[in-house]
Amino acid sequence: MTMIHLKNVTKRYGDVVALQGMTLEIHSGEYITILGPTGSGKTTTLRLIAGLTQPDSGDILFDKRSILKKPPEEREVGYVFQNFVLFPHLNTWNNVAFGGEVKGWSGEKTSSNTRKMLELVRLHERADAFPVELSGGMQQRVALARALASGAKILLLDEPIGALDARLRMSLRYELRRLVKDLGLTAIHVTHDQEEAMAISDRIVILRRGVVQQVGFPMDLYTHP
């Protein structure tokens, strides 16, 4: 498990301030949700943690060590996007195996890990299916398995169930939390959906216009908004 600490992080895109002096500690094994409207800085926060972009100022630490100079592939971070981003020409097995192949693992280790991940997300019976043959919920579970298959200790979830219908969102959000807890991961889930955040989070971060407004337990934020 990994503790994450953002220290006074600021990120600008031209004249637009995406994040302004963000300071946040995320505990090892915590399922935290960043809640805010479009343009509040949620995705920018994930991209900074993943190493897909760099802050203009401030620092980001994993287990008390700065990771700003570490490239994305060395950060042990899995990223799940809202629109799944699966390879359409690869079946379920090969989409998930891609995570191990990128790491340079042996064929035996990659196969063993792929099998384990597919069983974890309950898709081992659809290993030969291509993305077009899977439902939206199944595609998202493949994307999740692929993110985990690289050996990630931190899971970043960018509106991971926002593209699904209401019934699937309800079931998948609890499955996401179960997987994170079963694997002992640290997870950061961003959403604009207050009900979703209240249902699955250990703590919630309220973000508005790049500034943290509140951090607290779901019940505390519900009773003292």
Q: What is the pLDDT along the chain (225 residues), one digit of tens a residue?
A: 569 999 999 999 999 999 999 999 999 999 999 999 999 999 999 999 999 999 999 999 999 999 999 999 889 999 988 777 899 999 999 999 987 777 778 888 889 989 998 998 889 999 999 999 998 888 988 988 898 888 889 999 998 877 676 777 777 888 888 889 988 999 999 999 999 999 999 999 999 999 999 999 998 888 877
Residues 6+ apart with CB under 8 A from 195: none
Same domain, 144 and 159: no
The H or E element that residue 28 is part of is: none
Residue 211 CA, chain-centre distance (Å), reads 20
Q: Are residues 11 and 45 in the same domain?
A: yes
Instruction: Kindly give the residue spans of alpha helices, DSSP state H, lying in the chain.
Output: 42-50, 92-102, 107-120, 136-149, 166-183, 194-200, 218-223
81 within a domain of the structure (yes/no): no
Is 80 strand, coil or helix? strand
Does residue 198 belong to any structural domain of this protein?
A: yes
Q: Which helix (H) or strand (E) holds 216?
A: strand 211-216
**Inside any domain, residue 215:** yes
Residue 189 domain flag: yes
Q: Are strands 211-216 and 57-62 parallel, antiparallel or unpaired?
A: unpaired
Q: Quick one: angle between helices 107-120 and 92-102, nearest 10? A: 130
Structural domain boundaries enclosing 218: 1-76+153-225
